[in-house]
């Protein structure tokens, strides 16, 4: 199977979680190894549980972090169950347009493009 190059992470069961910058709903999408959609969630908007432009993503069990460039935030989630994530915080990321990495489950590193 060939996927369009975009930020993605591989979960423990070898499913793929990614953000699709071309998706008008601005959702997370989860697919299995065969490319079948397992779950999609998220909504475009300015509200507290909505996203403005999901881009780069990182996952270090049990934490998931995603950069939302339009809202200038990194959203932090914790994995609760098989395919369930709960938002536990966010970090202000002015001017962030690069990569996001979780380091030792508590440090978040941003690489900025110059």
Helices and strands per DSSP (H, E), number in the chain: 0, 10
pLDDT tens, position by position, 54-101: 888 999 999 999 988 888 888 999 999 889 999 998 888 876 666 777
Taking the C-alpha atoms of residue 35 and residue 107, their distance in angstroms, rounded to an integer, is: 32
Query: Residue 64: exposed, middle, or buried by beta-carbon count in 10 A (0-12, 13-18, 19+)?
Result: buried
Taking the C-alpha atoms of residue 91 and residue 62, their distance in angstroms, rounded to an integer, is: 18
Does residue 114 sit within a domain? no
Structural domain span for residue 44: 8-109
Does residue 68 sit within a domain? yes
Model confidence at 47: pLDDT above 60 = yes
Does residue 58 sit within a domain? yes
What sign does the dihedral 77-79-80-84 (CA atoms) show? positive
Does residue 2 sit within a domain? no
Number of domains in the chain: 1
Joined tokens for residue 48: 């507290």
């Amino acid at each position: 199977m060939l996927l369009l190059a975009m930020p993605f992470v591989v979960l423990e069961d070898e499913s793929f979680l990614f953000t699709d910058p071309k998706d008008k709903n601005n959702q997370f999408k989860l697919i299995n190894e065969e490319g079948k959609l397992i779950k999609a969630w998220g909504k475009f908007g300015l509200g507290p549980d909505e996203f403005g432009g999901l881009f780069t993503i990182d996952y270090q069990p049990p934490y998931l972090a995603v950069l939302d460039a339009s809202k200038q935030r990194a959203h932090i989630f914790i994995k609760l169950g098989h395919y369930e994530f709960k938002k536990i915080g966010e970090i202000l990321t002015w001017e962030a347009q690069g990569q996001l990495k979780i380091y030792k489950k508590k440090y978040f590193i941003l690489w900025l493009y110059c």
